[in-house]
Chain A
């Protein structure tokens, strides 16, 4: 409401660099990907329009369907883990009475966030190794028959991927929940204590209802995060053994830069985009509904 009468070019100059890059690397890129998905483009620049052929081929590709089943499993478990464990830790932290102790815990939980994810992932890869790591532990406990090549065993590989990063506490989501619980206001806690609520009631009756907006945020972030990246799969199994841990984005990457089929790969990307848009909008309107103002 500053001074609406005067036409002013300054705001546009302020946002111009941002939008130049967004238009090039996001909007033009999306347009380009959609366009490519209807062509037979390969790693060079020539391309021919081939209509829906890529999409038809995709629907007949069994690996594509497997990859979606895997993605569904990974996404559901990831979203659950991203909410449950960080929220659990934030709740536990709330009940730590000495503030200095609580702060030490908080800092320690933030630290692993600063370790490059590839380092964390590859460390887990070592632990999953056939010759040492978890297997050493199992053998020393007399459960050697459970030892296996975790990331190379079709029956467990996808679960091994899902478990990377256990107990999933560290980082941004934890901080978000921590903020959520502490934003409730001490007067409400004090009133509750005077009313004689116990710890469990404090969590279920007072915290959880107030933390719902933060759960929404984490839900959305974890959902999009899980659907849009493939760094974890690329650095653990690459989709293998066979195609047992393949996910659509990994498949896309392999089709694009392994086989050089940019057009076909783009079709996978477009399907992925549609799924993310649908899921994001669905969760906003259906699951969380109503009070979402912005």
Chain B
């Protein structure tokens, strides 16, 4: 990645002023960006009454009980979310890499047409699909079954990944595959032994993108996971509880928000480097 390296020796006064000015502006943007989250954490450590009476005051005394109560409240929903995301993720990655490889490296009749068909899905508004998909899931008898989440998630979330993976596989040098063929590897082996391992960073990018999107969803689960409270997902619970007015305990809810956010942060932050690289590498130009 060609990041500009301003060597000190050649930097002009204008450059230095520009750098300082930029940093000040960025810090302001940063403070504005993080302001709500800081407020959320502040809320999560206070008693309900203190939130209402002294919103900006620092938590004093700190009410850790919010967190122990919140853990009890959202443990199961978070585990449910992670389960749905995990199963979907594995299946999405398998399909993304297979379809990406087929479109990126294989020759077959109707390839261009099928790829256009795939891209066209991106133009279908999510809203339009809600009713028919609800009916499809209901007909399949999958309401209140995790497959009601998993199947449509895979269907919708794989597209972006295939576009990304296709660009990556297409960019691999031909020699890799010709050498493998000389060694007697067939198409399947070439995919499994060469392409797949090389594409791990791309698949990580895809994985983070889809996990964030699936973990985030609250509209669809609200429609198809209705009967059993123990099966509901984290964002669904949050949406259902806080969307109604007169939320009971704001501190507890705020603490739940923070706790429910942590799994995503813990899983993705170590992989963030791959994520930005994978995205900046192939995604945009493709």
Contacts A32-B135, A214-B284 given; does A97 touch B129 at CB 8 Å: no
Q: Which of B16, B32, B218 contacts A167 (CB 8 A)?
A: B32
Q: Does A24 contact B (CB under 8 A)?
A: yes
Q: A-B contact count, CB below 8 Å?
A: 291
Q: Give the residues in chain A near B133, CB-CB below 8 Å.
A: 25, 29
Q: Does B243 contact A (CB under 8 A)?
A: yes
**Interface-facing stretch out of A57-65, A76-84, A153-161, A269-277:** A269-277
Q: Which of A97, A105, A116 contacts B15 (CB 8 A)?
A: A97
Q: Does A288 contact B (CB under 8 A)?
A: no
Instruction: Give residues of chain A (53-106) contacting chain B, Cβ–Cβ below 8 Å.
Output: 85, 88-89, 92-99, 101-102, 105-106
Number of interface residues of A (CB under 8 A): 113
Q: Is the interface of B mostly helix, strand, loop or mixed?
A: helix
Q: Does A49 contact B (CB under 8 A)?
A: no
Q: Which of B19, B124, B254 contacts A97 (CB 8 A)?
A: B19
Contacts A25-B155, A101-B23, A112-B37 given; does A122 touch B125 at CB 8 Å: no
**A110 vs chain B, min Cβ distance (A):** 6
Q: Does B276 contact A (CB under 8 A)?
A: yes
Contacts A22-B121, A110-B272 given; does A28 touch B132 at CB 8 Å: yes
Q: Which of A111, A119, A224, A231 contacts B123 (CB 8 A)?
A: A224
Q: Give the residues in chain A near B43, CB-CB below 8 Å.
A: 126
Instruction: Evaluate contact between B130 and A256: CB separation under 8 angstroms.
Output: yes
Instruction: Evaluate contact between B129 and A17: CB separation under 8 angstroms.
Output: no
Q: Which of B16, B108, B136, B250 contacts A28 (CB 8 A)?
A: B136
Contacts A116-B261, A119-B261, A137-B56 given; does A189 touch B4 at CB 8 Å: yes
Please measure, in the bound complex, the distance between the C-alpha atom of A97 and the C-alpha atom of B264, giving whole angstroms: 32
Q: Does B185 contact A (CB under 8 A)?
A: no
0/1 interface trace, chain B 28-62, chain A, CB 8 Å (1 if under): 01101110110110010000000110011000000
8 nearest CB pairs, A to B:
A228-B125, A25-B155, A21-B155, A249-B127, A32-B132, A29-B132, A269-B128, A14-B102
Beyond A17-B94, A106-B276, 13 additional pairs, beta carbon < 8 A:
A8-B107, A11-B106, A14-B106, A26-B129, A28-B132, A32-B136, A96-B19, A96-B22, A131-B52, A198-B14, A199-B15, A249-B127, A256-B131
